[in-house]
Amino acid sequence: MELVGTVGHVLHGFAVSAEPNNLLFLFIGVVLGTLIGLLPGIGSSTAIALLLPVTYGMNPLAALIMFAGIYYGAQYGNTASAVLINTPGTASAAMTTLDGYPMAKAGRAGAALAAATIASFISGTVSIVLLTVLAIPFARFALDFGPAEYFALTLFALSAVSSLTGRSVPKGILAALLGLMISTVGIDLQSGVPRFTMGVLAFQDGISFLIVIVGFFAIAEIMINVERWFQGTLEPISIKGKLWLTRDEWRRCIKPIIRGCLVGFGVGVLPGTGGTVATVLAYATERRLAKNPERFGKGAIEGVVSPEAANNASTCGAMVPMLTLGVPGSDTTAVMLGALVLYGIVPGPHLFVDQPNLVWGLINSMYLGNVVLVILNLPLIGVSVRILRTPPGILMALILAVASVGTYSFDNSTTDLFAMLFFGLAGYGFRKLDIPVSPLILGLVLGSLMEQSFRQSMVISSGNPIIFFSSWTAAMLMVMAILSLLAPAIGHLFRLLLKAVPQAD
């Protein structure tokens, strides 16, 4: 990749993202994202899962632009339910409730939402620049990967996601293994042997990624919403008072926004650590740096803008490993990666060489998306209360209807519907047993690539597994994969030792 060529691709990406068709889907994406973020109980991964069947056969770039718009658009919308009804739509908005809700109770809901929107915009834009700058060296690093390195990379991604997402490493690993198991169903490409089809003809082509994610996200989420319905709904706080911040408040916001952005982006790049970890870290950083930390939790504006900035930056950060290595950094990017595979595009380091228009068109569309979002969201602050009043009963029925029609239309078969319902039940069980879902999605998406690279490596080495340690890159990735699984155990041991020291005194 020559520098001049790269700059050319970046610039051409702007032209691509400004094509009318792509602009239209960008607009649809960010509007949908905002709405979905506003509605408590459905996340961006669910929304993308529901839309996948409709986009099948569409121009992949337009679909991806729309999905990305939903992804970062939802981060804008998320804030309103956190601030106005003290209910985070997703876990990543939980930190915003800490200071956002007290602000709303003090009659400053409008100001909290405006500050959050501006913070999201600044942080979003800065992190797209970071994404643009970082993407090239990342992709170049992985460009000369052979099958052994690629296998080591997928193994590292899986183990990192397994150990970082849930509260228990073995449960994360279990989820990843289940994902890999589902990926082995169907005819083996190399030998033509049908595997684990259980005699079902429809499974010969494998179990579609789409059915699994609609089940695990949409259906399971509805079941959780059914439970939540019995707890009753909360009446949103109405927006009164000044919408804008004082000069002093703006001055106090700038540094937290920038710090939140950097923390969020960094955390987002790591596989498996999405917005939740980013917002917690950003909030903790601000509280530690504050001159009077006792204001936090009582409606401090810094406590609203820093997690919002971090949250938005983490969505961009998560795109770095997804686009450059084919390893997603979050739930939603895992679903987007699955979409790429569904469209017949092979993810991985070669994406930047093979599909420069796709990659740069997508990245550059995000600049414009953030501008649209800030223009859209500031006037929407007043309307958001009304959208929050959407009856959850109607919403549940609507999501189930859309999920079923989408899944059916994918292959015109009711077998898919029943399979989706089965995965929905499994997803509900996952939540009840506290098993994280992202490792399963990742295992499912990476499973076949992982097996292929494993077998290609074995062909090269005539069956000797030492090949996975034959190059520095592969060996390093293998060691990192093992270490990331052991990290929580080592941390635990370390804490035990620390506890033991004062007692020994």
- The residue within the footprint of another protein, chosen from 82, 368, 396, 442 (CB under 8 A), is 396
User: Contact between 463 and another protein (CB under 8 A)?
Assistant: yes
CA nearest neighbour of 478 among 184, 40, 156: 156
Give the residue with the Cβ less far from another protein, 167 or 240. 167
The single residue among 167, 240, 298, 386 that binds another protein, judged by CB under 8 A, is 167
Sole binder of another protein in the list 462, 496, 502, 504 (CB under 8 A): 462
Nearest to 260 by CA among 236, 235, 289: 289
Among positions 33-52, residues that touch another protein (CB under 8 A) are none
State yes or no: residue 402 binds another protein (CB under 8 A).
yes
Number of residues that bind another protein (CB under 8 A): 56
Angle (CA) 217-219-224 rounded to 5° is 90
CA nearest 117: which of 393, 304, 369?
A: 304
Q: What are phi and psi of 194, to 5 degrees?
A: -75, 135
Interface residue with another protein among 345, 421, 475, 487 (CB under 8 A) is: 421
List the one residue from 122, 222, 261, 362 that touches another protein (CB under 8 A). 222
Write b or e for each residue in 105-142: b if 16 or more Cβ atoms lie within 10 A of its Cβ, otherwise e: eeebbbbbbbbbbbbbbbbbbbbbebbbebbbebbeeb
Q: Which amino acid is residue 390, in one-letter code?
A: T
Does 408 bind another protein (CB under 8 A)? Our answer is: yes
- Closest separation in Å from C-beta 109 to another protein: 26
Question: Is residue 21 a contact residue for another protein (CB under 8 A)?
Answer: no
Cα–Cα distance between 352 and 321 in angstroms, integer? 12
Cα–Cα dist 505/488, whole Å: 27
Based on the shown chain and the rule CB under 8 A, indicate whether residue 171 belongs to the binding site for another protein.
yes
> For another protein, which residue of 18, 23, 387, 405 counts as binding (CB under 8 A)?
405
Q: Tell me which DSSP letter residue 208 carries.
A: -
The footprint of another protein on residues 187-216 (CB under 8 A) is 188, 190-193, 195-196
Contact call for residues 64 and 336 (beta carbons, < 8 A): yes
Residues that bind another protein (CB under 8 A): 54, 167-168, 170-171, 173-174, 177, 180-181, 184, 188, 190-193, 195-196, 219, 222-223, 226-227, 229-230, 391-394, 396-398, 400-402, 404-405, 408-409, 414, 417-418, 421, 424-425, 428, 433-435, 451, 454-455, 458-459, 462-463
